[in-house]
Structure 1
């Protein structure tokens, strides 16, 4: 009989223990799904995996709010990214599920902004016409030594003047404002300089902790102590060597090996065929 989520499994993780428990149950569900040959059971297990990790996807979606897309749309795209991660995650990989899921979800949201997140949606015909107008106007300006009228543009493009007027009226509706846009004509500031970004830092930190926690738990006590002394306590390599009874060179080698290993485990995996 297929297992269902236990009510004690945390879906909103506030501690390392919660995240470890979520990761363990997620892997158990993924293993059950890999063994199953019943499509209905496989679908049910997939839904349980998504439900268990949904708060993680919502957290990533919240990071992208206020950039011209609806919050509900962002959550839907992030959720689809989570489903994609669950479909393509390889159980034989050393990277924990969260280490694969977070880059996958963020990639889906960024792709949504690149391809779909327009401030106002207009007909594709007008979208294409805007591109034609943008290419033709500079040539007509050189020819007339002035800005061409919509009627003149329409004549040279072989389209109705009304369509040109509609496309020109919709100019600027494709994309949200660039953060590189000047915030003031008399200042050297860009929008990125004046828009608060404090909320993003907390989400970044949360995602980093989520990704690192299960990976760090694979280290032995000495390796964890070396990392703590170097990056939390701020000890030098020589001081660490004296503390654990090895040379500074050995500490350097151990640190390099640990960091290389962590980097490999946190690198996004290619999707399974």
Structure 2
């Protein structure tokens, strides 16, 4: 593994040979991070190239004097470039304009209803909220599969009961790949939490407690917990969009 002295040396003289040495040492990260995006309409070589170029950019931007680990710094950069690459491909099949517009509205609608109900909304609730029929909502969800890749936040219908994250049904892969990516993202976001956000995150997502249980334990209102949880999700959303 490359030590901090090598990063400092490169930052000082920008020697291409040193940069190449660093990139080669961390190419394993590209291999790990692109696994989740395979078999989604893009060739392995293309994904690897996008990830490798992002890795080079991360090496150029990395400042070892700030005290961060390079892997923690580079992971969001590589993921961000991969996701931008997919977004730039746009829709891979012709989808009616109205259906596409509905599909694009679903994400914000789900967020609003989640805040209101404290759970993932049903198809019926989404249809009522958007003043559409359930058939139109289901068609929009189905049509979103025409996109070159699925967003990790994309939801699909689970036996007409609730909308659930597509990530639950993503292609089978070694758990270690997800663990590396998820850990780096959580670590990057967690360091920016205030103390209340850290407490709520642990109680809500580690101990799986309800908002009302957390509110009672912390001696605050459930509305306060809801606002803190919204702030937590917003910070994760910002990190994932980098």
TM-score, with normalisation over the residues of structure 1? 0.43
Q: Which has the higher helix share?
A: 2
| Bigger Rg over Cα | 1
